[in-house]
């Protein structure tokens, strides 16, 4: 894959992921307005987090990290690749069906593992109820992830990148339809009130989860079929290739899902502070916007490209791909991190503060946004560094690094929570994000030229930081000047849009002047 083709792949995935995240904001704005940070909001967040956590293990975090390099190697012999993908699809279907049934039965224990602070109040039973309805999502979304891996490995990014939009659309429709049934959502949603059909109003959100997963799977299954990879259900078989896949995927389960594991520790800590689960969740949505748009795009496109280059012995091409991916990810996320640090209150208040979401909720959520912002570049750099290992089918070392990160996160989050409260959870996640990057970087030193920074990256990274610093200063002054407008109901959205526009224009103008990047590189990739 040539550099311009690599960049176009990043932008294809990034644009669709951006659309998904924007729709996700619309979804969360509705949830925040109707539920705020109360019992129903916290119960649903925990219930929805459970299948998402395991998704990172069975899908993006583990299976695909092992599956894509192996599948990429088999693509030259097309029939062999099809048989391998079919065997993997059937095996995953069987395993995840059994896992889903077990999860539904054991839901009280899973909720306890996620948020033991819920045990003694009304949040627990509601989270168990929602969790049992939502948990089948893990089956559908993991199969969708496997099919997405097939598409990505063959250079087809659109369907896999577009599928996540469906989740947020289904959520929004579910809430709007529920409201149209005539119930007052501010009083009833998630609190066990009956709808016009005899269902609990809160169940509309829970039922939306597996329905969205099924639709996502259907979209990528259709796209894979069009590409010549039609997956069918049949009797499973245990082949040497699947055994090898399992042995590679097992350690990758922890290595690829380290961010989610650390968020799990954070939720466990937050569950002991009333409202904190929701505060961290809404803050997570804000920093996940740039992380998702850039980090997911980098990981999705870079891994199959590196796998192909390493198989062909193209170390120079591998080095260029690694450096351009790292350079692009930092050029887009360092300024985003600075913005989250400088203007977290305007972002949080304008996006979420309405209805049941109070000014006190804004203050707490904004603090978490700023702390997460400190770790944003680290979370994205992990997406550039991990493929260096996974493309070589080396999941053992990332597994060991993840163990170290997990232990340190536990020590920081649990150890500091008695002194600084719920924010210890966010601080732990950010700290171990940088620790993970350091471990991955040091571990890659023995991989040869393909894993080294080139002169262009070394020259541009400091200019990116400088341009981001100038942008941060401009944003700080502009935010202070525009302060009254953020509280004006008719002007707050326009004021935030203007503030964000000031940040974007100032960053790209200063970055171009300093030589942090060339705007024509972005334009060429977007045209592709």
Is the pLDDT assigned to residue 352 strictly greater than 80?
A: yes
Q: Which domain holds residue 62?
A: 38-254
pLDDT tens readout for residues 362-413: 999 999 999 999 999 998 888 778 778 877 777 778 878 888 888 899 899 9
Please check whether residue 163 lies inside any domain of the structure.
yes
Is residue 497 classed exposed, middle or buried when 0-12, 13-18 and 19+ CB atoms within 10 A define those classes? exposed
Q: Give CA separation, 391 vs 130, 216, 387, in Å.
A: 38, 27, 5
Confidence of residue 192 (pLDDT cuts 50, 70, 90): very low
Higher pLDDT, 234 or 423: 423
Helix axes 315-342, 3-35, angle to 10 degrees: 30
Lowest mean pLDDT among 55-69, 193-207, 239-253, 342-356: 193-207
Is the pLDDT assigned to residue 294 strictly greater than 70?
A: no
Please check whether residue 509 lies inside any domain of the structure.
no
Please report the pLDDT score of residue 189 as a whole number: 37
The three state secondary structure string of 236-289 is CCCCHHHHHHHHHHHHHHHHHCHHHHHHHHHHHHHCCCCCHHHHHHHHHHHHHH
- Please report which helix (H) or strand (E) contains residue 74, including its range: helix 63-74
Is the pLDDT assigned to residue 63 strictly greater than 70?
A: no
Domain count, the chain: 1
pTM here is 0.71
Please report the pLDDT score of residue 228 as a whole number: 78
Please check whether residue 168 lies inside any domain of the structure.
yes
Please check whether residue 92 lies inside any domain of the structure.
yes
CB 190 within 8 A of CB 201: yes
């Amino acid at each position: 894959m040539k550099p311009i083709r690599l960049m176009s792949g990043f932008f294809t995935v990034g644009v669709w992921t951006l659309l998904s995240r924007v729709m996700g904001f619309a979804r969360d704005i509705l949830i925040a307005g109707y539920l705020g940070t109360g019992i129903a909001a916290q119960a649903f967040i925990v219930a929805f987090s459970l299948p998402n956590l395991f998704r990172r293990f069975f899908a993006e975090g583990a299976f695909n990290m092992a599956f894509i390099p192996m599948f990429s190697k088999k693509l030259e012999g097309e029939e062999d690749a099809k048989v391998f993908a079919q065997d993997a699809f059937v095996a995953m279907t069987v395993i995840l069906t059994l896992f889903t049934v077990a999860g539904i039965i054991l839901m009280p224990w899973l909720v306890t593992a996620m948020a033991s602070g819920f045990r003694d109040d009304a949040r627990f039973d509601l989270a168990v109820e929602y969790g049992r309805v939502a948990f089948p999502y893990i089956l559908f979304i993991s199969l969708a992830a496997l099919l997405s891996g097939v598409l990505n490995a063959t250079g087809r990014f659109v369907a896999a990148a577009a599928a996540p939009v469906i989740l947020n659309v289904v959520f929004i429709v579910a809430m709007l339809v529920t409201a149209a049934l005539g119930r007052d959502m501010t009083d009833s949603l998630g609190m066990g009130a009956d709808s016009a059909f005899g269902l609990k109003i809160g169940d509309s959100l829970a039922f939306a989860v597996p329905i969205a997963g099924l639709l996502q799977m259907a979209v990528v299954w259709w796209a894979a079929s069009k590409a010549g990879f039609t997956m069918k259900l049949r009797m499973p078989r245990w082949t040497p290739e699947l055994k090898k896949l399992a042995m590679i995927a097992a350690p990758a389960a922890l290595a690829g899902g380290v961010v989610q594991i650390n968020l799990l520790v954070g939720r466990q800590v937050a569950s002991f502070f009333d409202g904190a689960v929701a505060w961290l969740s809404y803050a997570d949505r804000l920093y996940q916007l740039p992380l998702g748009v850039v980090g997911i795009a980098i990981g999705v496109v870079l891994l199959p490209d590196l796998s192909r280059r390493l198989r062909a012995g193209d170390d120079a091409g591998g080095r260029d791909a690694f450096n351009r991916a790292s350079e692009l990810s930092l050029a887009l996320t360092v300024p985003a991190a600075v913005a989250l640090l400088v203007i977290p209150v305007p972002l949080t208040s304008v996006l979420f503060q309405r209805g049941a979401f109070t000014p006190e909720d804004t203050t707490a959520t904004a603090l978490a946004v700023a702390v997460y912002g400190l770790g944003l570049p680290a979370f994205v750099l992990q997406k550039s560094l991990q493929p260096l290992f996974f493309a070589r089918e080396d999941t053992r070392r990332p597994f060991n690094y993840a163990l170290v990160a997990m232990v340190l996160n536990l020590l920081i989050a649990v150890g500091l929570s008695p002194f600084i409260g719920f924010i210890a959870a966010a601080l732990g996640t950010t700290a171990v994000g940088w620790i993970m990057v350091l471990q991955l970087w040091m571990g890659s030193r023995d991989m040869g030229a393909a894993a080294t920074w080139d002169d262009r990256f070394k020259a541009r990274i400091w200019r990116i930081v400088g341009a981001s610093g100038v942008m941060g200063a401009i944003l700080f002054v502009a935010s202070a000047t525009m302060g009254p407008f953020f509280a004006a109901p008719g002007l707050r959205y326009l004021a935030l849009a203007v503030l964000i526009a000031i940040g974007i224009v100032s960053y790209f103008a200063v970055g171009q002047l300093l030589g942090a990047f060339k705007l024509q590189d972005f334009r060429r990739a977007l045209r592709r």
